[in-house]
Amino acid sequence: MQTVSVPLGERAYDVRIASGLLDRAAEYCLPLIPGKRALLVSDQTVYALYGQRLTEALTAAGVRVAAVTFPPGEASKSLATYEKILQAAAAVPLTGGDAFVALGGGVTGDLTGFAAATYHRGIRFMQVPTTLLAAVDSSVGGKTGVNLPAGKNLVGAFWQPRLVLCDPDLLQTLAPARYADGLAECLKYGVLWDEALFSQLEQGALFRVTEEQTARCVELKRDVVLLDERDGGQRQLLNLGHTIGHAIEQSSGYAVSHGAAVGLGMLLMARLFCPAIAGRLARALEANGLPTQLHLSLTQVAEALTQDKKRVGGEITLVVPQQIGQCELRKLPVAEVQNLLCSVEAKEEMA
Ligand code: GLY
């Protein structure tokens, strides 16, 4: 078992990574649920695959488990689903010593965390990630929230889980493209801070990210969360590839998946600011089942950047690669970034 501790004082918790953990969940959850009641939150697909097993594991240890489910997909990350979860918690009723348990990917984890942060002004919750993306990124660090029609993650709170239990066996049922979405985040950690991790993954790791590599990604995220829990500075490095990636997702009408968009976003950043690594990065993305060609106009992507919620005034903070394993934050006028993107497109058209 790999264990990564997140020492955040009275909000400290462990991320445990081991094959078979789902059926042994009670061993780790029970001490954290003194009230012995839990609300399992999951989408319908994940619940059908793993809900019963987790319920049985907890019930056998004396925890009374209720469940609430919702349709899979980003559309469920809404105020309506959030209310449904709160109503289910009140029907149990969950109280102070009880817990929410998020079984699923990023949508489920973010929704459950936000419900836990606000129900009774905050009760405990645990994460059981079922996607690689949730295992290496969204289940750790305490960002929770829901979308509004006006944009993604516009309502939320920082609320740390009390435990993250990652059983890599659960990731084997993912579609290859969903697993690859998580690989984009793993490669991102390599580009940001760890050339050795990048070299391990660059030949292709579809369904083969090891427990040690998962733990390494979590450690890298943990380290930046410890420096900047509330996302005011260094944590923004985690946005590598995301600013342009979000613009790509949005201008494709969400036809380009999150991981694919982040990979393309990283590649564009490399081509614009660090061409020396662009070829290696493109080969790594290809080997990991991620696209390297954008079938969209960069002018359209540049246009979508004007709607980025992280822009402050006319400026945007980009994460700029300097070499594999080192990046920096750079504040630039949005108009300058848009011009750069349009110039890449113009160059390609002339070539
Ligand atoms: N997923 C980026 C962050 O947690 O800050």
User: What pLDDT, in 10s, does the model give residues 104-130?
Assistant: 999 999 999 999 999 999 999 999 999
C-alpha triplet 287, 293, 294: angle, nearest 5°: 135
The pTM for the full model equals 0.95
CB atoms within 10 A of CB 211: 14
The amino acid sitting at 70 is F
**Are the C-beta atoms of residues 96 and 35 closer than 8 Å to each other?**
yes
Which of 78, 205, 53 is closest to 132 using CA atoms?
A: 205
41 — phi, psi (to 5°)? -115, 130
**Pocket test residue of 110, 138, 243 for ligand 1, highest count of atoms within 8 A of CB:** 138
Joined tokens for residue 285: 């993305």
Assess whether the C-beta atom of 249 lies below 6 angstroms from ligand 1: no
For residue 95, the 8-state DSSP code is -
- CATH code for the part of the protein at 176-347: 1.20.1090.10
What residue owns the CA closest to ligand 1's atom 3? 238
- Ligand 1 atom nearest residue 137's Cα: 1
Ligand 1 test: best mutation among 231, 246, 319, most atoms within 8 Å of CB?
231
> Is the CB of 110 inside a 6 Å radius of any atom of ligand 1?
no
For residue 224 and ligand 1, the question of a CB distance below 6 A is answered with no
Residue with tokens 């009670």: 26
* Separation between Cα atoms, residue 129 and residue 108, nearest integer Å: 9
Residue 58: enclosing H or E segment and its boundaries?
Answer: helix 52-60
Look at the domain 2-173 and name its fold.
Rossmann fold (3.40.50)
Q: Is 188 in the pocket of ligand 1 (CB under 6 A)?
A: no
137 lines ligand 1 (CB under 6 A): yes
Q: How far is the CA of 256 from the centre of ligand 1 (A)?
A: 20
Domain boundaries, the chain: 2-173, 176-347
Task: Supply angle C-alpha 134, 193, 263, rounded to 5.
Answer: 55
Helices of type H across 104-203: 106-118, 132-133, 176-193, 195-201
- If one residue of 132, 185, 235, 258 were mutated to test the ligand 1 pocket, choosing by the most ligand atoms within 8 A of its CB, it would be 235
Q: How far is the CA of 240 from the centre of ligand 1 (A)?
A: 10
**143-148 and 151-158 as β-strands: parallel, antiparallel, unpaired?**
antiparallel
Instruction: Tell which residue, 137, 105, 131, has the closest CA to residue 41.
Output: 105
* Residue that the structure tokens 């579809």 belong to: 206
Cβ neighbors of 263 (< 8 A, separation 6 or more) are: 184, 187, 241, 245, 285, 290, 291, 292
Give the contacts of 93 (CB within 8 A, at least 6 positions apart): none
**84 residue type, one letter:** K
- Tell me the CA distances in angstroms from 162 to 116, 198, 239, one per residue in order: 11, 30, 25
Residue whose C-alpha is closest to residue 65's, from 49, 32, 89: 89
User: Does residue 350 sit in helix, strand or coil?
Assistant: helix
Rounded distance from Cα 92 to ligand 1 centre (Å) = 31
Reading the block at residue 134, the tokens are 């949730």
| Rounded distance between C-alpha atoms, residue 165 and residue 181, angstroms | 20
Distance CA 26, CA 150 (A): 40
Whether 141 lines ligand 1, by a CB cut-off of 6 Å, is yes
State the pairing for strand pair 99-104/124-129.
parallel
How many angstroms separate the alpha carbon of residue 349 from the centre of ligand 1?
35
- Ligand 1 geometric centre to CA of 143 (Å): 7
Residues 6+ apart with CB under 8 A from 38: 29, 58, 63, 64, 65, 66, 94, 98, 99, 100, 101
Count Cα neighbours of 246 within 13 Å in the Cβ-side half-sphere. Answer: 16
Interhelix angle 79-91/106-118, nearest 10 degrees: 60
pLDDT per residue rounded down to tens, the chain (351 residues): 999 999 999 999 999 999 999 999 999 999 999 999 999 999 999 999 999 999 999 999 999 999 999 999 999 999 999 999 999 999 999 999 999 999 999 999 999 999 999 999 999 999 999 999 999 999 999 999 999 988 888 999 999 999 999 999 999 999 999 999 999 999 999 999 999 999 999 999 999 999 999 999 999 999 999 999 999 999 999 999 999 999 998 888 889 999 999 999 999 999 999 999 999 999 999 999 999 998 888 888 888 887 766 777 789 999 999 999 999 999 999 889 888 888 877 666 554
Among 8, 143, 229, 309, say which to mutate for ligand 1: greatest number of ligand atoms within 8 Å of CB: 143
Which pLDDT score, from 0 to 100, does residue 306 have?
A: 77
Side-chain-side CA neighbours of 214 within 13 Å: the count stands at: 32
Q: Is 266 in the pocket of ligand 1 (CB under 6 A)?
A: no
Residue 329, strand partner residues: 319
On the question of a cis peptide bond just before residue 93, with omega within 30 degrees of 0, the verdict is: yes
pLDDT for residue 351: 47
C-beta atoms surrounding 302 within 10 Å:
22
Nearest-atom number in ligand 1 for the CA of 236 is 5
